[in-house]
Amino acid sequence: MDDMLAGYLARLAVNSYEDFVRNLYDQIHRSINSLENYKHYIEHEGEDATTARIIMFLEGAGLKARQQAAGGNVDIYVDDLTNNFKWIGEAKKYESVTNIAEGFKQLVTRYASGKDKKGKGYGALIAYLRRPNTIHHVDAWKDTIAKLPEATNVRFSECQRMAPFAFLSEHDHQETNCSYETWHVCVQLLVDPKDKSGIESKAGKKRRAA
């Protein structure tokens, strides 16, 4: 079945918050695949511009997505007005594990209230990586989250969509003690060709200068 049609039909069938999140994550996964496939066109753009591409992709898939002020400037805010479902995601340039930890803290202590009336809360931390050795950086990211006091009683599980480049964490929200699940996603956007034409191209010269 066509992916767009399948997504639309899945949204029509949503009758729980978990259904809403599952469908949303399928669409975000598709947007990340698109970013990685065309990363050579966006290698010099900033974090906000790349995040805007994800938002536009979600809008194109029929979802209500935008940036939103909610305890701060939420990078990706998605809601389903029919069912009164809301979801937030934080996006970061992967500069260091410290930078990633700050993004996680923003997500779970400022943006997510922990008062989800539908049960377990959900959110995502999406990082744009422009370095080699993705798995190493994902493992370091996971180790860092495990040590944070903000991730009380954290439990990890495998991401069925994007393992080993993503993982799931679940912890007790510090304000309410309710369970909160975070989808941690690493988007690999490194562009580093070794062939002569790639090195000598206009983009290659700009890359070397940077």
Alpha-helix runs per DSSP H in 46-201: 47-60, 97-105, 134-146, 196-200
Return d(Cα 210, Cα 189) in angstroms, integer: 16
C-alpha radius of gyration, the chain, whole number? 18
What's the confidence (pLDDT) of residue 24?
94
Q: What is the DSSP letter of 107?
A: I
Return d(Cα 157, Cα 168) in angstroms, integer: 5
What's the confidence (pLDDT) of residue 210?
55
Q: For the chain, percent helix, then strand, then coil, each to nearest 5?
A: 40, 25, 30
- Name the CA dihedral angle for 37, 10, 66, 77, rounded to a multiple of 10 degrees: -100
What's the confidence (pLDDT) of residue 70?
61
Lowest mean pLDDT among 25-29, 104-108, 199-203: 199-203
Examine the pLDDT at 46 and tell me if it is beyond 90.
yes
DSSP string, 124-161: EEEEEE-SS-HHHHHHHHHHHHHT-TTSTT-EEEE-TT
The pLDDT of 118-122, averaged and rounded, is: 80
What's the confidence (pLDDT) of residue 122?
93
What's the confidence (pLDDT) of residue 191?
93
Residue boundaries of the structural domains of the chain: 3-209
pLDDT digits (tens, 9 = 90+) for 3-12: 767 666 766 6
Specify the 3-state DSSP secondary structure of 39: helix
Examine the pLDDT at 102 and tell me if it is beyond 90.
yes
Q: Tokens 């009336």 map to which residue?
A: 117
pTM equals: 0.87
Return d(Cα 13, Cα 16) in angstroms, integer: 9
55, 166, 179, 190 from 23: Cα distances, Å = 15, 17, 20, 28
pLDDT digits (tens, 9 = 90+) for 124-150: 999 999 999 999 999 999 999 999 999
pLDDT digits (tens, 9 = 90+) for 68-82: 856 568 999 999 878
Q: Which residue has the higher pLDDT, 8 or 156?
A: 156
Q: How confident is the model at residue 14 (pLDDT cuts 50, 70, 90)?
A: confident
Q: How confident is the model at residue 1 (pLDDT cuts 50, 70, 90)?
A: low
